[in-house]
Structure formats: structure tokens, C-alpha cells
Amino acid sequence: MATTTPFLLFTVLFFFSLLTSTALSRSVSQTRTTVLDVSSSLQQTLQILSFDPQMLQPFNDETATMSFLNSSFSFSLPLHSRDLVLKTQHEDYKSLLQSRLERDSARVNSLVTKLQLALNNFDRHDLKPLDAQIRPEDLNTPIVSGASQGSGEYFSRIGVGTPPKQFYMVLDTGSDINWLQCQPCTDCYQQSDPIFDPRSSSSYSSLSCDSKQCGSLDVSACRSNNCLYQVSYGDGSYTVGNFATETVSFGNSGSVNGVALGCGHDNEGLFVGSAGLLGLGGGSLSLTNQIKASSFSYCLVDRDSSGSGLLEFNSPQAGDAVTAPLLRNSKVDTFYYVGLTGFSVGGQSVQIPPSLFQMDDSGNGGIIVDCGTAITRLQTQAYSSLRDSFKKLSPNLKSTSGVALFDTCYDFSGMTSVKVPTVSLQFSGGKTLNLPAKNYLIPVDSTGTFCFAFAPTSSSMSIIGNVQQQGTRVSFDLANSHVGFSPNKC
């Protein structure tokens, strides 16, 4: 029987060790990374606390452009973070973040409620009235309890009426109904512009109770043959008033007549600073559908930045856009679903069953793109796999305790920048969108605590939030049913 000499055994072990270490080295070196600019992010947290909205340049009507070509048109408008419209009352960044996250959670809960009502085939007459300070003579029909249309994080400046008056309005892809606060006000929250008075506009026209637009409302009532509307929200806030048509203008260069919108005389809730809301969802009453836009896009700046992005309608999509299928839910036409198949971290695919992001025949599941939700929500199993993959490839990052809904946080105090694994979204057709580090590691205070900006949800529906969309032009090609993501196209 042959025996192995000590020298031969040593040689075999040496080469095995060499091969193993080489393979591990190659594996580490192949991990795709990106750099998080820690100092820049922390500087913005300090600037936003002291930012005075009066420092913003006055709105210039000439910055909004529109051109008419036969029956088509295109226009663009500046887009601002809500914290640049109304001065924050928070003394430190952590309390500002907590306020943002509370709004965000209310929004997510209400979007989920809206979906569940649709999936369970609730008729509007089956819904219980909302307990709110609304007089019976204002609206005496059932109210959609908790069916939110949005909380609002980004504002654009829109003209309403003839002659046009300019207003900051919330943009919301999770909503269809357009509305603004109107005189006379039974109850109006604080807004940065004077409240719209329909008596000062020659183009204001009340809608009758038998109008097509009135019949398309989820909740409507009739008073003296004038259509009344109400939209209620997940946190108990609401808007109530007359449903009418009005001229909506985009600077001095163009306008659209006969846009149906709510003229709210009794309003309360999450919209402080704005005059109202522009619904960009997929329903028949949304602004996009009413102006017959074939596409629209937006670019969201960092909410702590003093810059602005753009809202555009019927603009061409960038040639380098990462595209994915735009899917629709037959149960609810408001939401924009996208064909997401999974994630990768550091260039390595995360082991997540693709079925977790797919919508079934009954309308459950799927993932929507929403500009009003901040933090991306993923089904718990998908979130846990993504988080664990990130933590596995980030052993050298100094971890710290969780904050609010974030369970994965790091201490970057005293650091200027840090190299972190790249997080990427994978779409149907093999397309991949690499996220900048600041789109998934966000500051939660001004001292250097950063958290992994994803969160789990027990809902079957997942949501791609605006933190992950910042700095990326998101284009909705409604005519050809796809969504495009163009990094650095703001």
C-alpha cells in the first residue's frame, strides 16, 4: 500500500491553500461598489434646517414651455421638494426625518387600503362614513374610509383660472383627483399662496350632477344640481367641495381648458404648504388622462437639496433609459405597476423568488412606482433577503442601532466618504438599474448615522419610493406601456 510523504502532503496543502485564497480574493475584488459622499449628505441635512423659502428665485412664467404641434403638445415645469416651499419648524434633522416617515407610513397604509377595497370588490355604497367634522349638508353620501390619494412630497407651480393665478400643487402618481383649496373656506389648512377664489375666474364652471366627470368620482353628492366631491385620507384628513372645470396653465406659454378639479371648501391634513394636488395616476380623472398625454416624466431632486427637477409631458424618452414593462391592474386603474424581477447587491443577484414581484390574476402582488412614497416597501421575504445580502457584503461598515422603521443603520461619523456595495434593480428583459449610494443609504441625523433606506411590508403590493428615484428621470410611456429610468438626466 502506497504512503504519502510529508513533503507531498505539504505541497498539496500549499497549492490548495493558494487556490482557495486566490478564489476568495477574486470574489471580493469582483464585488461591485460605489462611493457614498458622507460629508455632502450631512451638509445638506444642516442646510435644509436653516433654509428659508424666501431665498427661492421667484417663479418665472417663461421657465414653463409648451408647444402645440397639430393635436399634440409638450411642456415642462420646475419641481420642488415640499421642504423648500414651507420653512421647517423642526430644530434638528432627526425630528424632521421622523415627521417625514410618519407621513410616509400614513401614505403607504392608505395606498394599501385603496388596493384592498378594489380587490375585495367593495362598492362605494358598501363603505362606512368617515368620522370627520363634515356637516351633513356638505356631503351626505358614504365616504371612502382610509382610501388615500397621496400625502405629497414634491410640488410644482401651476396656473389655475382666467386670468391665471399661480399655485404650488402636490404631484402624485398614486392619485387621480385634481383639487385645490377654494374660497369661501369653511376650514382650510395653511398654504404658501393666497387661496383660490373661483369668483375671480371667468373660466370656472360647476359640473352638473349628471356629468360624466361627476359619475367617475368614487364619492359624490348633489346639491342644487351641482356636483360635490370628497376625497379622504388614511390619517383622517380630507377635502370636500364642489367639482368643477377650470383652465389650467403652464406659465405664459400654454393652457388646457376644461380640466375637472375639486374646489375644496373644507380641507384638512397632510398638504400644508401646497394649494392642492395634481393627480398623475392612471384613472380617467387624472391630469394625464384629461389632457390626453401620451407620456409624462419627472426628475426628483434630493429632498434636502435646494435645487429643482422637472415635470414634463409628451417629452421624448432618453435614448439610454433603462426600460421595463408598464403593467396595469384591472381592479384599480390608478397605480403604475412595473416589471421588476429582483435585485442585485455588489453585482451578485439576490436570491428572491420572482413571484414576489409579480401580480396574479386577481390583482394581488406586483410592485408600483410612486413619487409620493419616500421609502421603498418590499414584501418581508424580499426585504430580508436584500438586507441580508447587503450586510453580508458590508462587514467593515460600523453598524449602529436602528432608527424608526429602519433596522439596518451605520455610524459614518467623522468620515468624508465610504465605499459600499452597489444595489441594483433588475427588470424584465434583463435590464439593470444601478442606484447611487445616496439612494439607499440616507442620513437620519446630522451627526453621521445613515440607514439602509428600504422597509418591509406585509402587503402583497410592493412600492418603489422616491428615495430610490432621486436624480433619475422616470418616464411613463403610456402609449407604449413601458417605464424608463434615466440616471443623471435632471
Query: How large is the C-alpha radius of gyration of the chain?
Result: 25
Asked whether 409 and 399 are in contact (CB, 8 A), the reply is yes
Q: Alpha-carbon distance 35 to 244, whole Å?
A: 50
For β-strands 454-457 and 376-379, DSSP reports them as parallel
Using DSSP's 3-state secondary structure scheme, residue 138 falls into coil
- How many residues in the chain? 490
Amino acid making up residue 31: T
Q: Which residues are catalytic?
A: 172, 370
What angle in degrees, to the nearest 10, is found between the helix axes of 38-50 and 93-119? 90
Q: For residue 27, what are the CA distances in angstroms to 23, 30, 214, 405, 487?
A: 6, 5, 61, 32, 28
Grid coordinates given for 60: 418665472
Q: Alpha-carbon distance 25 to 145, whole Å?
A: 57
Asked whether 456 and 423 are in contact (CB, 8 A), the reply is no
Q: Alpha-carbon distance 228 to 209, whole Å?
A: 8
Asked whether 241 and 137 are in contact (CB, 8 A), the reply is no
Does a cis peptide bond (omega within 30 degrees of 0) precede residue 184? yes
Grid coordinates given for 373: 412614497
Tell me the sheet residues that pair with 255.
249
**DSSP letter at 406?**
B
For β-strands 165-172 and 255-268, DSSP reports them as unpaired
Provide φ and ψ at 168, rounded to 5°.
-80, 125
Q: Alpha-carbon distance 357 to 348, whole Å?
A: 18
Asked whether 196 and 180 are in contact (CB, 8 A), the reply is yes
Asked whether 218 and 117 are in contact (CB, 8 A), the reply is no
